[in-house]
Amino acid sequence: MKHWTGIIIGVASISLVAAGCSKIIVTQNTTQTEPPTSYTTIGLNSVAAKSANGLSFSVSTDLTTYQPGQDIEVVVDEKNTLPKTNNIPVSDNWSLDGLIRMYFGPAGYPNVPYGIAVYRGDYTSANFSTLTPLNLYDPSGEYLATVAFAPTSYSFEPLSDIADIIPGKNTPAADAGSNTPIQQISAEITLKGYWTNSSVPNFNYFDPGVYTVVGGDEWGNLVFVHFTVLNAVATTMPAVNSENAPVKVISISNAHLNPPTNYPTVELNLENVSTYPIVSLSAVLIEFAPQDYSFGLNVTPENPLLPGTNVIGFSDLFEGEFGNGISYSLKISGTYKNGDIFTFVWEPPSN
């Protein structure tokens, strides 16, 4: 699908994949493109439905339980179960309206015969139809229109999720030629949370509890997959050393002279080694003559420091110099997503 376009969706990070097209990774203000990749892994937590036309439609997640703020990898796959080529006409027989089709935006995508919705709670086909799914895209975002032909059928290879997408007779030659007709009818979607519908849209990580992912295809199949977000029971840590601290100092060193003032600049690299998202973080160079210095760290509720990730900050020393045996300490303080705080003093290792 060479005609895909990037979309800005705020702090959520979303990956969308199909064979023959690039993997699009969308973050707060950037869009990156990776080389074409084929995704065949279905995942650990998988549910499939087989239809009368010989197709098997499945939805899976990589885990069954997650920490708040942890990536939730969802794989959607449409596969031919017959040992021969299977040409399936489009039907537009959706069992559920409003499924997010391939990318998180309000518009559907003509070449994609499946979609997903996410509900807060534990639901099945018997009790979900009157509910409203969570909003997985930014209501205030700008979503670019895509140009794509509307197919008439999918010609699946034997025992495969690779299909030749057959365009309609009225499709302009330029549009049909700009698309990759043979594609893997599968997608990987990375979820982190949802958007609230308000005058000022706000992104939220999935709260602790059970969630239901509903997947559907245009041939009427529906599948239900459940995952659980665990409670983040963080504790206040008034540690006076770094042995049990939630943040690890990876490095602190002279970075460069900062023109035009030529003040020395110190670079600090910190890693969240806890299991909980951190939504605010400060680091101050203390016991350092002749004054204390703060590092600029971009950690906010909109840009949290997730477990296992790093943040780098800088501080210009307007007086004094760093290194050469000059003593110092770091006072590091922060707040977990659930509101609990921590603070500790880090001492550099002795030489």
Task: Name the stretches of the chain with pLDDT < 70.
Answer: 1-44, 101-111, 141-149, 169-180, 198-199, 232-243, 256-262, 287-291, 318-325, 351
Instruction: Please check whether residue 149 is in contact with residue 110, taking contact to mean a CB–CB distance below 8 angstroms.
Output: yes
Query: d(Cα 109, Cα 76) in Å, to the nearest integer?
Result: 15
Structure tokens at 162: 């690779």
Instruction: Please check whether residue 315 is in contact with residue 265, taking contact to mean a CB–CB distance below 8 angstroms.
Output: yes
- For 109, what's the count of Cα atoms within 13 Å in the CB-facing half-sphere? 23
Instruction: Please check whether residue 113 is in contact with residue 165, taking contact to mean a CB–CB distance below 8 angstroms.
Output: no
Query: d(Cα 265, Cα 134) in Å, to the nearest integer?
Result: 45
Q: What pLDDT is stored for residue 172 in this prediction?
A: 53
Q: What pLDDT is stored for residue 224 in this prediction?
A: 95
Query: d(Cα 55, Cα 252) in Å, to the nearest integer?
Result: 56
CA distance readout (Å), 13 to 26, 69, 136, 237: 6, 11, 11, 30
Give the count of beta carbons closer than 10 Å to the beta carbon of residue 25: 17
- CATH 3.30.1120 at 247-346, yes or no: no
Q: What pLDDT is stored for residue 5 in this prediction?
A: 24
Structure tokens at 60: 């899976």
Instruction: Please check whether residue 149 is in contact with residue 168, taking contact to mean a CB–CB distance below 8 angstroms.
Output: yes
Instruction: Please check whether residue 105 is in contact with residue 7, taking contact to mean a CB–CB distance below 8 angstroms.
Output: yes
Give the count of beta carbons closer than 10 Å to the beta carbon of residue 242: 18
Domain limits of the chain?
14-229, 247-346
For 39-83, write each residue's pLDDT tens digit.
344 456 889 999 889 999 999 998 888 877 788 989 999 999 999
Q: Whose structure tokens read 């007779």?
A: 169
Q: What pLDDT is stored for residue 174 in this prediction?
A: 47
Q: What pLDDT is stored for residue 28 in this prediction?
A: 25
Query: d(Cα 63, Cα 181) in Å, to the nearest integer?
Result: 32
CA distance readout (Å), 105 to 110, 116, 145: 13, 12, 10
Q: Residue by residue, what is the 3-state secondary structure of the chain?
A: CCCCCCCCCCCCCEEECCCCCCEEEECCCCEEEECCCCCCCCCCEEEEEECCCCEEEEEEECCCEECCCCCEEEEEEEEECCCCCEEEECCCCCCCCCCECCCCCCCCCCCCCEEEEEEECCCCCCCCCCCCCCECCCCCCCCCCCCCCCEEEEEECCCCCEEEEEECCCCCHHHHHCCCCEEECEEEEEECEEECCCCCCCEEECCCEEEEEEEEECCCCEEEEEEEECCCCCCCECCCCCCCCCEEEEEEEEEEEECCCCEEEEEEEEEECCCCCEEEEEEEEECCCCCCEECCCCCCCCCCECCCCEEEEEEECCCCCCCCCCCCEEEEEEEECCCCEEEEEECCCCC
Give the count of beta carbons closer than 10 Å to the beta carbon of residue 239: 16
Share of the chain above pLDDT 70, in %: 67
